[in-house]
């Protein structure tokens, strides 16, 4: 179910509780990424280490969330990974900024719905900084943009929570090969397409989006 979001969510994390940021220099194997996220989530809960935002890219692959329908896997041209995050099938690959967020939700009122709203607000604010208007749509998970050919999805959300620590996160299309989405029905939605910043004419480097994401984190999450 899509969260019903406040228009201007008020952060409820302690001021100054900023996460560690890591940016991977090369595409990260998906299995390795999941192992790393699970380990960090355990450390956050058991050892009290800092929260983490991990920015990376993956080699071309598909992932199946907990709601994935097998009929939506049209052509498995790339490796397919079953994953415990919410959502359905999605694509990851070079040119897409994945932000994995390992965050202690007990510091934020243990409110999962508001966390998802905040993730969406974070992406919307960061897209705005690079000149793109991203919006929520009722009944459609992710962030959407209006194009001359109708509405297209530019960003996805899929999270998992273990002992009130989040992992997995969001993905924003900067300049991936959009033809790779043809192998799946993205997020189970067949009536709308997928786009990217470059396809919209916003030909920025990945580092520009990274700067916007870091800048807007404190605005949304405190």
Q: Write out the catalytic residue numbers.
A: 187
Instruction: Report the alpha-carbon distance of residue 102 to residue 166 in Å, rounded.
Output: 5
Residue 18 sits at φ, ψ, to 5 deg, of -85, 145
CB proximity list for 197: less than 8 A, separation 6 or greater:
130, 132, 154, 172, 173, 174, 175, 203, 204, 209
Closest CA to 150 of 190, 188, 192, 185: 192
CA angle, 132 then 133 then 137, to 5°: 140
Among 114, 116, 91, 87, smallest CA distance to 101 is for: 116
Rounded to a whole number, what is the distance in angstroms from the first to the last CA of the chain? 26
For residue 214, report the phi and psi dihedrals to the nearest 5 degrees: -65, -40
Q: Locate tokens 């974070």: which residue? A: 122
């Amino acid at each position: 179910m899509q969260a019903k979001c406040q228009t201007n969510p008020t952060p409820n994390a302690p001021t100054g509780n900023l996460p560690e940021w890591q940016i991977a220099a090369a595409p990260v194997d998906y299995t390795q990424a999941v192992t790393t996220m699970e380990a960090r989530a355990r450390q956050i809960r058991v050892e009290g280490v800092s929260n983490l935002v991990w920015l990376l890219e993956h080699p071309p692959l598909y992932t199946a969330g907990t709601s994935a329908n097998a009929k939506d896997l049209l052509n498995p041209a790339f490796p397919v990974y079953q994953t415990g995050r919410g959502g359905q099938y999605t694509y990851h690959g070079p040119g897409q900024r994945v932000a994995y967020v390992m965050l202690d939700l007990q510091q934020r009122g243990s409110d999962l719905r508001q966390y998802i709203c905040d993730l969406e607000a974070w992406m919307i604010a960061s897209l705005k900084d690079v000149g793109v208007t991203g919006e929520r749509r009722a009944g459609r998970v992710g962030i959407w943009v209006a194009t001359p050919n109708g509405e297209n999805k530019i960003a996805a959300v899929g999270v998992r929570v273990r002992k009130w620590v989040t992992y997995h996160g969001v993905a924003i299309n900067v300049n991936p090969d959009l033809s790779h989405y043809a192998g799946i029905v993205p997020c189970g939605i067949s009536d709308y397409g997928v786009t990217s910043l470059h396809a919209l004419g916003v030909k920025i480097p990945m580092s520009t989006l990274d700067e916007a994401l870091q800048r807007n984190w404190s605005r949304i999450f405190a």
